[in-house]
Amino acid sequence: MDYAVQVDQVSKSYGHKAVLDNVSLQIREGQIYGLIGPSGAGKTTLVKMLVGMERADRGNVTVLNETMPNLELLQEIGYMAQSDALYAELTGEENLSFFAALFKLGKTERKRRIAYAADLVNLSGVLNKRVSAYSGGMKRRLSLAIALIQDPRILILDEPTVGIDPQLRLSIWSELQRLKEVEGKTIIVTTHVMDEAGRCDVLAMVRDGRILTSGTPQELMAHYGASNLEEVFLQAGGIQV
Ligand SMILES: Nc1ncnc2c1ncn2[C@@H]1O[C@H](COP(=O)(O)OP(=O)(O)OP(=O)(O)O)[C@@H](O)[C@H]1O
């Protein structure tokens, strides 16, 4: 079995606060894997470990069979953080060019990737505007385009569609689906949006630094005898519905 990501008995504390507690999971290549759970559950900390931005206190994280953190792997991991890390004084295009230049891309390929990523998130018409004049949703869209810029094998998206209107959210999800199906990308998303959770192949419910349960959306609904994922989410968290 080919796993893009393996997390093995990982724990992490900040000071005295345990944020991840003995977490294990496997993500198959070519899967959309969703992490859902309440605010503060540890989702961001977990995805930061997959990118190599945080180190586990105990346990092991492997991405594409390499132990993380590993700088070499950044070419293969596109990461969209929860808060946008953009250069406000530069234009959208300059931001894309800046991040594209960090990766091994030829000049023509770089141009092609910038045009593709900008088009995907509907920013082609405003690429010459400074980011300081972008709305919150536009900044999220630019961050998503940056995550895709080097054509990575793995996309890690921390709440990618917050602040994005429903129409564009749909088109982003259909592109994520295409990237999975046609290009075989592995996509890991954190989300609070149940409709998005339902589009994942596998979901893990995270709470208090632990994975309470995981499975396909259908498996989880069957397991909890629930008619929708919102109910699963509440029941997994111990709330009677
Ligand atoms: N650098 C840090 N230093 C200290 N505590 C931290 C740090 N980063 C995260 N935490 C704490 O770890 C816990 C888990 O945070 P994390 O951001 O991983 O949760 P989350 O599930 O992503 O939440 P949200 O859905 O709100 O983004 C929280 O209690 C948070 O306050």
- Is the pLDDT confidence value at 44 over 90? yes
Rounded CA-CA distance 207/41 in Å is 5
Q: What is the 3 state secondary structure string of 5-54?
A: EEEEEEEEEECCEEEEEEEEEEEECCCEEEEECCCCCCHHHHHHHHHCCC
Q: Which two tokens stand for residue 146?
A: 């940056």
39 touches ligand 1 (CB under 6 Å):
yes
69 touches ligand 1 (CB under 6 Å):
no
Q: What pLDDT score was predicted for residue 124? A: 94
Average pLDDT of the chain is 91
- The pLDDT of 124-130, averaged and rounded, is 96
The residue whose C-alpha atom lies closest to atom 25 belonging to ligand 1 is 39
- Is the pLDDT confidence value at 204 over 70? yes
Of 21, 45, 193, the residue with max ligand 1 atoms within 8 A of its CB, to mutate for a pocket test, comes to: 45
Q: Are 154 and 76 in contact (CB under 8 A)?
A: yes
- Is the pLDDT confidence value at 194 over 70? yes
Q: What is the pTM of this model?
A: 0.91
- Residues 9-26: tens digit of each pLDDT: 999 999 999 999 999 999
16 touches ligand 1 (CB under 6 Å):
no
- From the CA of 45, how far away is ligand 1's center (Å)? 6
Rg (CA), the chain: 18
191 touches ligand 1 (CB under 6 Å):
no
Rounded CA-CA distance 206/188 in Å is 14
- The pLDDT of 47-76, averaged and rounded, is 94
Q: What H or E segment, with its residue span, contains residue 47?
A: helix 43-51
Of 16, 19, 51, 190, the residue with max ligand 1 atoms within 8 A of its CB, to mutate for a pocket test, comes to: 19
Please report which confidence band the pLDDT of residue 59 belongs to, taking 50, 70 and 90 as the band edges.
very high
Q: What pLDDT score was predicted for residue 96? A: 95
40 touches ligand 1 (CB under 6 Å):
yes
Beta strands 3-14 and 58-63, pairing class: antiparallel
Q: Which two tokens stand for residue 166?
A: 């429903």
Q: Cis bond leading into 152, ω under 30°?
A: no
- Is the pLDDT confidence value at 170 over 80? yes
What share of the chain in percent tops pLDDT 90?
Answer: 68
- Is the pLDDT confidence value at 241 over 70? no
The domains found in the chain, sorted by start residue, are 3-236 (3.40.50.300)
What share of the chain in percent tops pLDDT 70?
Answer: 98
- From the CA of 12, how far away is ligand 1's center (Å)? 11
- Is the pLDDT confidence value at 1 over 80? no
- The pLDDT of 73-96, averaged and rounded, is 92
- From the CA of 136, how far away is ligand 1's center (Å)? 22
Q: What pLDDT score was predicted for residue 175? A: 85
